[in-house]
């Protein structure tokens, strides 16, 4: 019964999404206030029914209703309750339902926080979001119904994929989707503005907080995925340039370009058509990612169960949305660009460079991701573009981007006077070079060219990001109090600096060592002694495990104990590696059990990962910067006139 209610609620949501799409768009066209006023209530209603549907599916999981095919395939009686909930979005059908729920939630948020916007714009934005909802609801109902029955019901389920039985992965998809789907709001704003044909600076001011919020969630979502890959896959890497990782990373790169381009549009009224194009691209890349992941077109560790009809549906939807948006763009954009100029040394120029470099980086990632596909089409061969290619290609635009970032932050709009600019930045630049070279020598005892480039870049951004907050803090009473928006920018850039630092140090000084160990033996890695004290069997709720107890010492002093496990999940019979990690702020000591080699010996992978925690902390700092910037008063209601003045 409950699954049928869920299915029915989803159909009702589709009906409401149709109202939400058609009436407000038509109303805005005809200038009909009554039709436009449907937008907000339809959005709320659609959210309600999608939420009911989502709840019904969750309920089916909690009740172990194995007469629902999706539940039977992805849950099991002995699965811990928390994972029964996260199993809802562990595979295609349920995660699509979550995608729809998040889209409806964003729409409702737009309906709620848009009272200072013109009615017509609101109606169009919500209407465009309604069109997107229709697409995804049809996708779910026609090809991916999560409520499909299994008759006769299974006695027990097939269990959740053990890889996904992990707290990091339980919250990674929701956060990632909030970011992914959030770009649909920026997209809707762009389409709405183009339909209306007017795009003023207010438009950018309204679109900006939504875009930055989505970007912040996407940042954290990607970081959590990376963190999970690091400790759960048991390899100790943190980014693999896997097609599905790239699918989430491309919208992030374009989204980053978009939030910078929006700043120019808001403050100076420039880059208007470019901003629109980025808003369209960010969401199109989200859709492309969805297509790549769910159509099975590219083989990946992440790929969902594949089905050509699903791929065909998303591809049709993607074509309609992207081609429609770009036709509108080709028609409307020419009228938008203003001819107001800016000088060579100005913030506009730096933001332009930022955009160009980020778009180049995205294009490189896109090419690398799709090259296997395209080559296969052209001559039938199967190639794979590996991490080494990406690592080199990606650095080409990134290194200049990082150095320019520190300069651009301190450059004025329109025109920057050269002398004070040089005076301000001379000292930080010299300091960055010295600290960047000395720091690795001091702590790790060596330095190389690439390492120096990375650490100088990192220190440079960190110092540069701190200049403005420190100055404003030191003259407390001064007129130049820093705005939330500027503070947010500094925090986000500080996060970027921490990230570069972590990535540089861990790739230069990380040590991986595969050893064979017996109980009682000790090995030395990077000055730490790892002793395998015992191996024992451990019983989990739905798995049995062999657990190693490894004591870590440094020159005889006790450092810590880690307990890596090799788990066998009882239903799917698959073996999972649960790494034992001893984390401190400046390094991780990582031990993973490999295979049994016979004679009581085990292969053990030991890793020393200096400053790896910086990577994830950095992502949170970046996201925090975004949130602080969004809280700036000029995005709050009623503050519009003030900031325009």
Partner 1 sequence: MNRYLLPLVAVIVFLPFLVLGLRSDPSKLPSQYIGKAAPEFDLPTLRDNTRNLASADLTGQVSLVNVWATWCVGCRAEHGFLMQLAQQGDIPIYGINWRDNRPDAIQWLAQYGDPYVASGFDEDGRVGIDWGVYGAPETFLLSQEGEVVYRFTGPLSASHWEREFVPRIAELGK
CB of 451 to partner 1, least distance (A): 38
Please return the burial class of 348, using the count of CB atoms within 10 Å of its CB with bins 0-12, 13-18 and 19+. buried
Which of 393, 372, 388 is closest to 243 using CA atoms? 372
Residue with Cβ nearer partner 1 (107 or 281): 281
CB of 309 to partner 1, least distance (A): 10
Q: What is the DSSP letter of 68?
A: B
How many Cα atoms occupy the beta-carbon half-sphere of 400 within 13 Å? 13
CB of 159 to partner 1, least distance (A): 8
CB of 306 to partner 1, least distance (A): 4
Residue with Cβ nearer partner 1 (337 or 534): 337
CB of 357 to partner 1, least distance (A): 19
Coil/strand/helix, residue 272: helix
CB of 63 to partner 1, least distance (A): 18
Q: At what angle do helices 272-295 and 243-268 cross, to 10 degrees?
A: 160
CB of 574 to partner 1, least distance (A): 9
Q: Which H or E element spans position 228?
A: helix 201-232
Is the bond preceding residue 519 a cis peptide, omega within 30 degrees? Answer: no
Residue with Cβ nearer partner 1 (22 or 158): 158
User: Burial letters for 91-123: b for 16+ Cβ neighbours within 10 Å, e otherwise?
Assistant: bbbbbbbbbbbbbbbbbbbbbeebeebebbbbb
CB of 323 to partner 1, least distance (A): 7
Residue with Cβ nearer partner 1 (169 or 285): 285
CB of 254 to partner 1, least distance (A): 13
Residue with Cβ nearer partner 1 (319 or 448): 319
CB of 299 to partner 1, least distance (A): 5
In the chain, how long is the greatest CA-to-CA distance? 82
Residue with Cβ nearer partner 1 (334 or 527): 334
Residue with Cβ nearer partner 1 (44 or 326): 326
Residue with Cβ nearer partner 1 (374 or 511): 374
What HEC string does 2-41 produce? HHHHHHHHHHHHHHHHHHHHHHHHHHHHHCCHHHHCHHHH
Which of 157, 188, 353 is closest to 276 using CA atoms? 188
CB of 308 to partner 1, least distance (A): 6
CB 613 within 8 A of CB 502: yes
Q: Which residues bind to partner 1, rule: CB under 8 A?
A: 72-73, 154, 157-158, 273, 277, 280-281, 284, 291, 295-299, 306-308, 311-312, 315, 318-319, 322-323, 326-327, 329-330, 333-334, 370, 373-374, 376-377, 571-573
- Phi/psi for 521 (5° steps) reads -85, 160
Coil/strand/helix, residue 200: coil
What gap in Å lies between CA 166 and CA 232, rounded to an integer?
8
Give me the DSSP letters along 475-524.
STTSS-PPPHHHHHHHHHHHHHHHHHHHHHHHHHH-EEEEEEE-TT-EEE
Residue 478's CB is within 10 A of a number of other CB atoms, namely 10
CB of 296 to partner 1, least distance (A): 5
Residue with Cβ nearer partner 1 (430 or 597): 597
- Phi/psi for 25 (5° steps) reads -65, -40
Q: What is the DSSP letter of 66?
A: T
Residue with Cβ nearer partner 1 (457 or 576): 576
Residue with Cβ nearer partner 1 (382 or 418): 382
Strand partners, 590: 581, 607
Residue with Cβ nearer partner 1 (376 or 391): 376
Whole-Å CA distances, 8 to 54, 101, 582: 12, 15, 49
CB of 321 to partner 1, least distance (A): 11
Please return the burial class of 475, using the count of CB atoms within 10 Å of its CB with bins 0-12, 13-18 and 19+. exposed
Strand partners, 569: 543
| CA dihedral sign of residues 81, 86, 88, 90 | negative
CB 179 within 8 A of CB 223: no
Residue with Cβ nearer partner 1 (23 or 298): 298
Coil/strand/helix, residue 182: helix
């Amino acid at each position: 019964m409950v699954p049928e209610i869920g299915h029915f609620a989803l159909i009702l949501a589709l009906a409401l999404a149709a109202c939400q799409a058609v009436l407000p768009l038509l109303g805005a066209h005809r200038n009909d206030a009554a039709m436009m006023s449907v937008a907000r209530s339809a959005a709320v209603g659609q959210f309600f029914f999608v939420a009911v549907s989502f709840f019904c599916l969750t309920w089916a999981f909690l009740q172990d209703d194995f007469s629902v095919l999706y539940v039977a395939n992805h849950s099991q009686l002995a699965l811990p309750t928390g994972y029964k909930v996260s199993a809802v979005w562990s595979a295609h059908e349920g995660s699509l339902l979550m995608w729809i729920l998040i889209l409806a939630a964003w729409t409702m948020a737009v309906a709620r926080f848009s009272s200072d916007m013109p009615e017509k714009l609101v109606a169009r934005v919500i209407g465009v979001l309604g069109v997107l909802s229709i697409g995804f609801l049809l996708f779910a109902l026609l090809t991916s119904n999560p409520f499909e029955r299994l008759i006769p019901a299974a006695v027990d389920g097939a269990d959740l994929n053990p890889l996904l039985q992990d707290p990091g992965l339980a919250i990674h998809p929701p956060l990632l989707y909030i970011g992914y789907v959030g770009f649909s709001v920026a997209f809707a704003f762009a389409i709405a503005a183009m339909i209306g044909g007017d795009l003023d600076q207010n438009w950018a001011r309204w679109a900006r907080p939504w875009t930055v919020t989505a970007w912040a969630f996407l940042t954290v979502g990607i970081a959590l995925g990376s963190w999970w890959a690091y400790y759960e896959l048991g390899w100790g890497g943190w980014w693999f340039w896997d097609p599905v990782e790239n699918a989430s990373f491309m919208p992030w790169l374009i989204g980053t370009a978009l939030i910078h381009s929006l700043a120019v549009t808001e403050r100076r009224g420039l880059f208007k058509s470019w901003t629109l194009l980025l808003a369209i691209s960010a969401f199109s890349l989200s859709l492309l990612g969805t297509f790549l992941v769910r159509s099975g077109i590219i083989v990946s560790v992440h790929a969902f169960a594949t089905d050509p009809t699903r791929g065909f549906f998303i591809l049709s939807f993607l074509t309609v949305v992207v081609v429609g948006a770009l036709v509108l763009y080709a028609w409307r954009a020419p009228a938008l660009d203003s001819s107001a100029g800016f000088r060579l040394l100005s913030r506009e120029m730096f933001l332009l460079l930022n955009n160009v470099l980020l778009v180049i980086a995205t294009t490189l990632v896109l090419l690398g991701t799709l090259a296997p596909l395209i080559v296969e089409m052209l001559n039938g061969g199967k190639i794979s573009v590996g991490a080494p290619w990406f690592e080199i290609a990606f650095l080409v635009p990134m290194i200049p981007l990082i150095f320019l970032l520190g300069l651009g932050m301190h450059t004025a709009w329109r025109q920057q006077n050269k002398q004070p600019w040089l005076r301000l930045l001379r000292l930080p630049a010299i300091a960055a070079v010295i600290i960047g070279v000395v720091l690795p020598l001091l702590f790790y005892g060596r330095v190389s060219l690439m390492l120096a480039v990375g650490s100088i870049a990192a220190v440079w951004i960190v110092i540069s990001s701190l200049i403005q907050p420190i100055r404003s803090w030191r003259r407390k009473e001064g007129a130049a109090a820093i705005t939330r928006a500027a503070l947010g920018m500094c925090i986000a850039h500080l996060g970027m600096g921490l990230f570069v630092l972590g990535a540089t140090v861990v790739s230069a000084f990380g040590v991986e060592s595969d050893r064979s160990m017996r109980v009682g033996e000790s090995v030395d890695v990077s000055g730490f002694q790892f002793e395998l004290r015992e191996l024992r069997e451990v019983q989990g709720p739905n798995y049995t495990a062999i657990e190693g107890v490894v004591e870590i010492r440094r020159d005889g002093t006790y450092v810590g104990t880690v307990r890596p496990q090799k788990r066998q999940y009882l239903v799917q019979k698959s073996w999972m590696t649960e790494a034992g990690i001893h984390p401190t702020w400046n390094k991780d000591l990582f031990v993973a059990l490999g295979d049994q080699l016979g004679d009581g010996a085990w292969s053990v992978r030991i890793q020393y990962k200096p400053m790896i925690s910086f990577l994830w902390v950095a992502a949170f700092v970046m996201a925090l910067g975004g949130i602080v910037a969004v809280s700036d008063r000029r995005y709050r209601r009623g503050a519009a006139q003030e900031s325009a003045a």
